[in-house]
Chain A
C-alpha cells in the first residue's frame, strides 16, 4: 500500500509544531509487511478424505461419460500392486462427482463395489455423494433422499456430520428452505443438528427470510425437537436486527436471552452497541459500555473501536478522544480502525488538519493506513476545499491501486467539476471503473448528475 507523501505534511506543520511529534524516518513507515504465518497446511488436516490423487483430479476425467469412468477405474485396479486404501477410492469418486450427475456417480459407486469386493464404502464415501446431490440443479430434494436412502440401506445411519454437510451444501446453493425441511426430517428420523449446524442455518435464514420466519423455525426446533437456541444463536439474531436498525427488537432479545438463563457476554454487548452507533445514538452506546462495566464484562478492542466509531460519527469528538485514552490505559493498542473512525469524526467537524495530525501520530506508532483511511482523508480534504492536497492523496491512492469508495469518489468528482476541471473528473471516473471500485453504473450516474449540477450552477453564475 502506498505511503502518504511528505508534501501533504506541510499543511499540518503549524499545528504539529505545538505538539512536537516524534521524528520518525518516514520511509520505514507504511512499508512494514504483515507476514502471515505459514500455517495454511493446517486446513488440510481437517479434510482427510482428499489425499494425494487430488493432483490428478483435473486430468483424470476428460468427460462425464460413465463407461469411460468405469474403464479408468478398472484399469487402476488391475495395475495397482497393493490394494489402494479407502481414501484412494473416495477421492476417485470425488473427482468424478465433481463433473458428473448424481445418478452417474451412484452407478460408478456400484461399479466400484462390484469390481473390487474388498472395497467397502464408509461414511465419507456417501458424504461425497450427499454433497453432490445437495448441489445438484434438481429443485426437489429427491437426489438428496436417494443418497441418504442408499447410505441407510448400507447400514450407515446419518450422523451430525451428515446433517452439517447437507445443510452447508444446500445453503451455499441458496436453498435455505430445503435445508430447513431436511433438518426437520433428519431430526425426526435419525439425528438432530449440533449447535454449529443449527447456528449456521439460523444465520443463513436471517439473510433469506423475514424475521418472523426465522423465529418460527427456532420455535419449531425447540418445541418439536428440543433443540434450544444458545447464546451464539441470540447473538446472531441480535446482529441481524441491529443491521436492520430495529433496536427495539434487539433490546427485547437481550431480555429474552436473560430470561432463558444466559448472561450477555462481550459479543452480545458489542453487537447491540454497534446497532446504536449505526443509528448515531452515541449516548445509548456509552450506556451499553457502562452497563458492561457494571456487570463485570471486560470490554475488548472491538468494544472500544465501536464506541469511538459511534461517538465520532455523531460528532462527540471530545468523548471519542476520552475513550481513546481509556482504551490505551486498558492496554489496547489503537489500530487502523480506531484512527480512521477518529479521522472521520474530525473530517465531519471540518477539521481536516486535525485528521492529518492523527495520520502522523498513527504512522509514528507503526500502524499503516488502510483503504478506508485514504478514502476518509480524501473525502475530508475535498469537503474542506483543499483540492490540491486531495489530488495529491488521490495520486498516491492511484499508484497503490487503492480503491475509491462511493462518497470519496463523488466528492472528488464534484470538487473537480466545481473548479471547471472536467477532464480531470473524467480521469477519476476512468480510474474508478478500471480499479473496479464502483460499478460502471454507479460511477457514471455520479458523473452524469454532477455534470448536470455543474450546468445548472454555471447558468446561475455560481461555477467556473
Chain B
C-alpha cells in the first residue's frame, strides 16, 4: 500500500518531492541549530517542530503561537512570536528553490 502511494507521489510531482526530501548543505545559522551540516527540508521542519514541543515554546493562552527563544529566533528571521501556520514558509526560506 505505502510504496504505491509513495510511487504515486513521485510520479505526480518528482520535483516537488525531491525539493522536500533531498539532502541539502545548510547555511551556517541553520547548521548550528540542527547540529548537522546536511538535512532535508522535511527533516529540518521535523527538527524545529520537535524543538518547539520539547521546550514548551507554544503560548499557553494561544497554542497557535510560538514564543521564540534565542535559538529559534536566530533561524526564524529574529521574530519574537511566530504563528504555527507560517512555520513551513519560514523554514522554506532557508531552502532556496534553484540549487545545482
Residues in chain A within 8 A of chain B (CB atoms): 406, 417, 420-424, 426, 438-442, 444-445, 447-448, 451-452, 454-455
Contacts and interface: CB of A to CB of B under 8 A. Distances in A.
Contacts of B9: 441-442, 445
Contacts of B17: 441
B85 A451 contact: yes
A455 B5 contact: no
Nearest to A436: B2
Given A421-B64, A423-B63, A444-B42, A455 B85 contact: yes
A451 B83 CA distance: 11
A444 B92 CA distance: 13
- The DSSP consensus for interface residues of chain A is helix
Most chain A Cβ neighbours within 10 Å, of B16, B84, B86? B84
Interface residues of B, number: 22
Contacts of A451: 85-89
B64 A420 contact: yes
18 contacts: A417-B85, A422-B64, A422-B83, A423-B63, A423-B64, A424-B63, A426-B49, A438-B5, A439-B5, A440-B42, A441-B6, A441-B21, A441-B42, A442-B6, A442-B9, A444-B20, A444-B45, A451-B88
A441 B9 CA distance: 9
A420 B65 CA distance: 11
B38 interface: no
Contact of A439 (B2, B63, B64, B86): B2
A437 to B, nearest CB: 10
B42 A455 contact: no
A445 B19 CA distance: 11
A103 B81 CA distance: 66
Given A417-B85, A423-B63, A441-B17, 15 more contacts: A406-B5, A422-B85, A423-B84, A424-B63, A438-B5, A439-B2, A440-B42, A441-B9, A441-B42, A444-B20, A445-B9, A445-B16, A451-B86, A452-B89, A455-B89
A448 B85 contact: no
B20 A445 contact: yes
B58 A423 contact: yes
Nearest to B66: A423
Interface in B36-85: 42, 45-46, 49, 58, 63-64, 83-85
B88 A447 contact: yes
Given A422-B84, A451-B88, A441 B64 contact: no
Interface string B1-27: 010011001000000110011000000
A34 to B, nearest CB: 22
Nearest to B84: A422
Contact of B85 (A406, A438, A441, A454): A454
A406 B89 CA distance: 23
A452 B86 CA distance: 8
A439 B49 CA distance: 17
5 tightest A-B CB contacts, nearest first:
A423-B63, A422-B84, A422-B64, A448-B88, A422-B85
Contacts of A444: 20, 42, 45
Contact of B46 (A440, A442, A454): A440
A156 B86 CA distance: 71
Contacts of A452: 88-89
Nearest to A448: B88
Nearest to A440: B42
Nearest to A450: B85
A439 B6 contact: yes
A330 B89 CA distance: 58
Contacts of A439: 2, 5-6
A423 B53 CA distance: 11
Contacts of B64: 420-423
